[in-house]
Copies of this chain bind each other. A is one copy, B any other.
Amino acid sequence: MPNAPIPALDELAKLHPADVADRLQRLPHAEAGALLHQLPDVTAAAALAEVEREKLPELLADFSIAQLARLFQQLPPDDAVDLLQHLPARRRREVLTALPPERAAEFKSLLRHPEDTAGGIMDNRFIALRDQMTVEAARELLRARAEQERREDVAYLYVTDEQERLVGIVSLRDLVFRRAERRIGEIMNRDVKFLRATDDQEQAARQFERYHYLGLPVLDDEDRLIGVVKASDALAIARREATEDMQLMVGLSGEERALTPWPRSVKRRVPWLCVNLVTAFGAASVVGLFEDTIARWTLLAVFMPIVAGMGGNAGAQTLTVIIRDLALGELSPGDGRRALVKEVTVGVMNGLIIGVIVGFAGFAWKGDPWLGLIIGCAMLLNLAAAGLSGVLVPYGLKACKVDPALASSIFVTTITDVAGFFFFLGLGALTLRWLA
C-alpha cells in the first residue's frame, strides 16, 4: 500500500489512546512510524503515551526535535515527562530548549524526581482549595478549571494553607451534596494519607492496595502538596514490578516479552547464561573432586540428577516466597531472622520426609542399602542448605544494595548443586573407604 487509507485514520482518532497504541504496536516499525506521522498531533501524542515502554525509543527516534516539542505540548505533563525520559539525554535537552520556557520549566521540575518514585509517577495538576472558601466557591473553581483544561478523572480535592502545605481533603461527592454556603474547612477531612515525593513507587502501590483510595496526594519534604498519584497508575506499576521480579530471578531483563525480537532476547540473556556457566563449572569442579569415587562406584553418577533436581526445586520454593514478600514489603526488618529459622526448619522437615522416601526408592531401584542411606542423608542436608540459601541469597543481594531478585535463582541453584554434590559424593567416598 502506498498510503494507509484515510478512513482508517478517522477511525483511529476516535478510539481510546490505549487502543490506538495497541494497533501501532502490532504494525512493523516503518508502518507504525508512518501512521503516527499521519495522525493528528493530539491523537499521536496520546497514543505514544500508551505505547509499551520497550517500543518507545525506536518510535520516538522517527520524530524531529520540533515535532517532539509539538507533540509533548499536547500531553498532560506527567505523560510528557514519561516520554522525555525515554529520549537519549542529548535529544531530551534539545526538546526542552525547543519548548516554550514555562513548559520547559514545568517539565524540568518533574524530571528532577527519579522515575521510580512517587514524585516520578505523580500528576502535577490538582485542584487545591483553601479552608476559608465556601463550597460554592470551590464548585466555581472546579468549573473554571474544567473548562480551561481537559483533565483526567478526579475523585478528591485538596485543601492547602498559605505555604501550600496540605491540611485536608474534600471528596468530590461532598462538594456535590454539602450546602453551598458551608466553609471547606468545616467539611474537609483532616486525617489525610499521603505519599512523599521520594517514596518508592512500590511503596505507593502498597498504600493503594492497603487503603483502597482512588488517589493519594504527594508532598515534598516541607509538607507542600506537589502532585497526585491515581490508583490506576499505581496498578500498572504494581503489575510491572511483580512480574519484573519473576524475570530478574532467572536472569532476564524486566522488559523482555514473549514476542521481543529474538536478537534482542539473545543479547540480553547470554550474559546471565555466561554467569550461570561459570557457576555451573563451580558445581562441576566439586564433582571433579570425586572423579575417583565415581570411577569406582558409577551408580553415584546416576543419582546425581536427583540430588541436584530436588535441591534446586526446594531452593526455588524458598527463594520465591522470600522475593515475593520482600518485593511487596510484607517482611519487616526484624522478620529476616524469623524467616531464616522457618525456612531451615521447613528444609529439615522436608529433607527428613523426602530423604526417607528417596532412600527407600534408591534401595528398591538398585538393591544397594548403602546407596539408599547415602542419598537419603544427602537429601536431608541438601534441602536444609536449600532453605538456608533461599533466604540468605536475596537478603545478601539486598545488603549489597542490589535488587534481591537479580539472578537469585542462578545463585541459589549453584549453592544447592555444590552442597548437594559435596554431601552426596563425599558420603559416597567415605562409605567406599569405610567398606574397603
Q: Is the CB of B235 within 8 A of A321?
A: no
**Complex contacts, A277 vs chain B, CB 8 Å:** 306, 310, 354, 357-358, 361
Q: Is the CB of A305 within 8 A of B320?
A: no
Q: Is the CB of A301 within 8 A of B304?
A: yes
> How far in angstroms is the closest Cβ of chain B from A398?
13
How many angstroms from the CA of A335 to the CA of B249 in the assembled complex?
Answer: 25
- By the criterion of a CB under 8 Å from any partner CB, how many residues of chain A are at the interface? 122
Q: Which of B231, B298, B328 contacts A243 (CB 8 A)?
A: B328
**Complex contacts, A154 vs chain B, CB 8 Å:** 155, 173
Q: Nearest residue in B to A273 (C-beta to C-beta)?
A: B354
The contact string, 1 if C-beta is below 8 Å from chain B, for chain A 249-272, is 111100011111111011001101
- Quick check: is A175 within 8 A (CB to CB) of the other chain? yes
Q: Is the CB of A177 within 8 A of B139?
A: yes
How many angstroms from the CA of A266 to the CA of B346 in the assembled complex?
Answer: 6
Known: A16-B211, A247-B324. A298 touches B299 (CB 8 A): no
> How far in angstroms is the closest Cβ of chain B from A121?
12
**A151, A155, A156: most-surrounded residue (chain B CB, <10 A):** A155
Q: Nearest residue in B to A289 (C-beta to C-beta)?
A: B302
**A288, A301, A358: most-surrounded residue (chain B CB, <10 A):** A301
8 Å CB interface, A186-218 against B = 193, 205, 208-215
Known: A321-B257, A335-B258. A177 touches B313 (CB 8 A): no
**Complex contacts, A270 vs chain B, CB 8 Å:** 350, 353-354
Q: Which of B249, B288, B302, B306 contacts A291 (CB 8 A)?
A: B302
Q: Which secondary structure characterizes the binding site on chain A? A: helix
Q: Nearest residue in B to A242 (C-beta to C-beta)?
A: B242
Q: Is the CB of B321 within 8 A of A258?
A: yes
Q: Is the CB of A173 within 8 A of B273?
A: no
> How far in angstroms is the closest Cβ of chain B from A234?
6
- Quick check: is A429 within 8 A (CB to CB) of the other chain? no
- A contact set with B: CB distance below 8 Å: 16, 18, 50, 139, 142-143, 146, 151-156, 171-173, 175-177, 193, 205, 208-215, 230-236, 238-239, 242-243, 245-247, 249-252, 256-263, 265-266, 269-270, 272-274, 276-277, 279-281, 283-285, 287-288, 291, 294-295, 298-299, 301-306, 308-310, 312-314, 316-317, 320-325, 327-328, 330-331, 335, 338-339, 342-343, 345-346, 349-350, 353-354, 357-358, 361, 365, 409-410, 413-414, 417, 421
> Can you pick out 10 interface pairs between chain A and chain B where the beta carbons lie within 8 Å of each other?
A175-B176, A208-B235, A209-B235, A214-B215, A250-B316, A251-B317, A266-B353, A287-B304, A313-B410, A313-B413
Q: Which 8 A-B pairs have the closest CB atoms?
A: A143-B177, A242-B242, A280-B309, A231-B231, A301-B301, A283-B305, A258-B325, A212-B232
